[in-house]
């Protein structure tokens, strides 16, 4: 079943961004380097009126370096966009971040025209960790910025460089089904919104081919078990459960425990550095999802038209009698 998640506080966050945006020169969007497309927020482009944007691919320490390179190139090729990859262990993220933002707004800077940057990201992407690193490192002033919302934080990264952090979160309707699963696997969605077994099966289906060697090494599986033509994905989960010793009374594999083990291993980086989507894959998923949405909307419209047509006919009949 497709995954949906609405964590709340959306309205106030949206309002805070809309109110702040006229003063902003550059918008930073933090993404999860393991799933950059799926962790992006399409609503943001709309709200930020296509201001110059810096994409930060965070958690690069967990992502496949080749895939991260491909995603960076993908974003760098977009107009008005720069991209850098970071991780929590990065000791000097501020310098790179400031340099990239200055490149995006070369006419800003200096005490008269300080550069004003807004930072956004979906929950769990690592925004607090990065801000803490920036604040700790630069011994910056932080505090409430009056006016917009009490909780908006203004972080002074240099005399002429202000970083604004909006409170709450912004979560779009997930139209790409694959994104729902990737977000759930990475820990970006609340636990109650998905079924672990379903997510583990999708995750295994996604990684079994490109990262077969990693799964083979971690769970002592052979080539036939990892080959989708020879072993269905639920049989693969069963085999992993057997290896991980998650057995119920009677010796049956505990599929729930096996699913949790798979998800936890992925999150902890126990398979090595893995990325769940390439730019091309994500574009295909998105195009297919948008087409499905358009078809659904056309069906809904046809139904509405039929209903109002019927109503009109009934009214005409009533008028005639
Ligand atoms: P948020 O504000 O965007 O919601 O995210 P937050 O900074 O709270 O980070 C969410 C989780 O991701 C934290 O783990 C954090 O340590 C981890 N994290 C953030 N950046 C990176 C990174 O670059 N690499 C890796 N490997 N992990 C990162 P947690 O388990 O929820 O908490 P903690 O106990 O580790 O602090």
Alpha helix locations (H) across the chain?
10-20, 42-47, 65-76, 93-104, 127-138, 177-186, 196-207, 212-219, 223-226, 233-244, 255-268, 279-320
Q: Which of 191, 65, 24, 68 is nearest to 124 (CA)?
A: 191
- Residue count of the chain: 321
Confidence grade of residue 64 (pLDDT, cut at 50, 70, 90): very high
- Write out pLDDT tens, residues 216-236: 999 999 999 999 999 999 999
Q: Which of 80, 48, 79, 78 is nearest to 164 (CA)?
A: 48
Cα(122) to centroid(ligand 1), Å: 12
* Cα distances (Å, whole numbers) of residue 113 to 24, 106, 116: 11, 11, 9
Cα(125) to centroid(ligand 1), Å: 7
Q: Which atom of ligand 1 is nearest to the CA of 90?
A: 23
User: Looking at the DSSP assignment, which residues form a beta bridge with residue 144?
Assistant: 153
Of the CA atoms within 13 Å of residue 42, those in its CB half-sphere come to 10
What are the residues whose beta carbons fall under 8 Å from the beta carbon of 263, sequence distance 6 or more?
185, 196, 199, 200, 203
User: According to the model, what pLDDT value does residue 321 have?
Assistant: 67
CA dihedral 291, 294, 298, 303 (to 10 degrees): 100
User: According to the model, what pLDDT value does residue 317 have?
Assistant: 78
Integer Rg of the chain from CA:
24
Q: Which residue has the higher pLDDT, 130 or 285?
A: 285
For residue 254 the two structure tokens come to: 């505990």
User: According to the model, what pLDDT value does residue 87 have?
Assistant: 87
Ligand 1 pocket member 115 (CB < 6 A): no
Cα(186) to centroid(ligand 1), Å: 11
Q: Which residue has the higher pLDDT, 149 or 179?
A: 179
Is the pTM higher than 0.85? The answer reads: yes
Confidence grade of residue 143 (pLDDT, cut at 50, 70, 90): very low
DSSP states along 26-42: EEEEEEETTSTTTTS-H
For residue 206 the two structure tokens come to: 């996604």
Ligand 1 pocket member 61 (CB < 6 A): yes
Q: Which atom of ligand 1 is nearest to the CA of 269?
A: 26
Lateral strand order in the sheet of 81-85: 81-85, 53-58, 26-32, 115-121, 161-165, 153-158
Cα(123) to centroid(ligand 1), Å: 10
Q: Is the pLDDT of residue 152 over 80?
A: no
Q: Which of 104, 131, 133 is nearest to 30 (CA)?
A: 131
Q: Is the pLDDT of residue 296 over 60?
A: yes
* Distance (Å, whole) CA 213 – CA 191: 29
Number of neighbours of residue 30 by Cβ within 10 angstroms: 25
For residue 173 the two structure tokens come to: 């309707």
Cα(65) to centroid(ligand 1), Å: 19
Confidence grade of residue 72 (pLDDT, cut at 50, 70, 90): very high
Ligand 1 pocket member 134 (CB < 6 A): no
Average pLDDT, integer, range 153-164: 89
User: Looking at the DSSP assignment, which residues form a beta bridge with residue 156?
Assistant: 162
Ligand 1 pocket member 88 (CB < 6 A): yes
CA nearest ligand 1 atom 19, residue? 126
* Distance (Å, whole) CA 313 – CA 204: 54
Q: Which of 57-61, 172-176, 196-200, 265-269 has the lowest mean pLDDT?
A: 172-176
CA dihedral 37, 43, 48, 51 (to 10 degrees): 30
Inter-residue contact 198 to 1 (CB < 8 Å): yes
Ligand 1 pocket member 153 (CB < 6 A): no
Q: Is the pLDDT of residue 114 over 90?
A: yes
Confidence grade of residue 151 (pLDDT, cut at 50, 70, 90): low
Average pLDDT, integer, range 264-269: 95
Most confident stretch, 16-25, 111-120, 150-159, 267-276:
267-276
Confidence grade of residue 6 (pLDDT, cut at 50, 70, 90): low
Domains of the chain: 10-165 (3.40.50.300), 195-268 (1.10.1580.10)
User: According to the model, what pLDDT value does residue 235 have?
Assistant: 96
Q: Which of 157, 136, 155 is nearest to 145 (CA)?
A: 155
- Write out pLDDT tens, residues 169-216: 667 778 899 999 999 999 988 888 899 999 999 999 999 999 999 999
Cα(196) to centroid(ligand 1), Å: 21
């Amino acid at each position: 079943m497709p995954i949906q998640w609405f964590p709340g506080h959306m309205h106030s966050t949206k309002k805070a961004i809309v109110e702040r945006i006229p003063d902003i020169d550059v918008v930073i969007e933090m993404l999860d380097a393991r799933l950059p497309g799926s962790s992006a927020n399409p609503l943001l482009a709309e709200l930020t009126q296509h201001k110059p944007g810096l994409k930060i691919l965070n958690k690069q320490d967990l992502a496949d370096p080749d895939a991260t390179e491909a995603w960076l190139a993908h974003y760098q090729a977009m107009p008005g966009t720069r991209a850098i990859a970071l991780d929590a262990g990065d000791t000097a993220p501020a310098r790179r971040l400031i340099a990239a933002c200055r490149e995006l707004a070369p006419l800003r800077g200096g005490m008269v025209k300080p550069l004003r940057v807004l930072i956004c990201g979906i929950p769990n992407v690592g925004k607090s960790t990065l801000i803490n690193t920036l604040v700790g490192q630069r011994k910056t002033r932080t505090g409430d910025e009056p006016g917009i919302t009490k909780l908006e934080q203004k972080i002074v990264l240099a005399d002429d460089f202000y970083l604004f952090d909006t409170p709450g979160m912004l979560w779009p309707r997930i139209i790409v089904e694959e994104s729902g699963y990737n977000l759930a696997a990475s820990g970006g969605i609340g636990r109650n919104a998905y079924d672990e077994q379903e997510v583990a099966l999708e995750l295994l289906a996604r990684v079994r081919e490109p990262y077969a060697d990693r799964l083979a090494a971690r769970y002592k599986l052979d080539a036939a078990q990892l080959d989708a033509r020879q072993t269905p994905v639920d049989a693969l989960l069963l085999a992993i459960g057997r290896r991980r010793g998650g057995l119920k009374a009677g010796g049956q594999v505990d599929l729930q425990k096996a699913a949790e083990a798979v998800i936890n291993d992925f999150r902890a980086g126990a398979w090595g550095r893995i990325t769940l989507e390439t730019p091309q894959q994500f574009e295909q998923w998105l195009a297919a999802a948008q087409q499905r949405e358009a078809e659904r909307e056309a069906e809904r419209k046809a139904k509405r038209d039929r209903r109002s047509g019927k109503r009109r006919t009934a009214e005409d009949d009533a008028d005639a009698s």
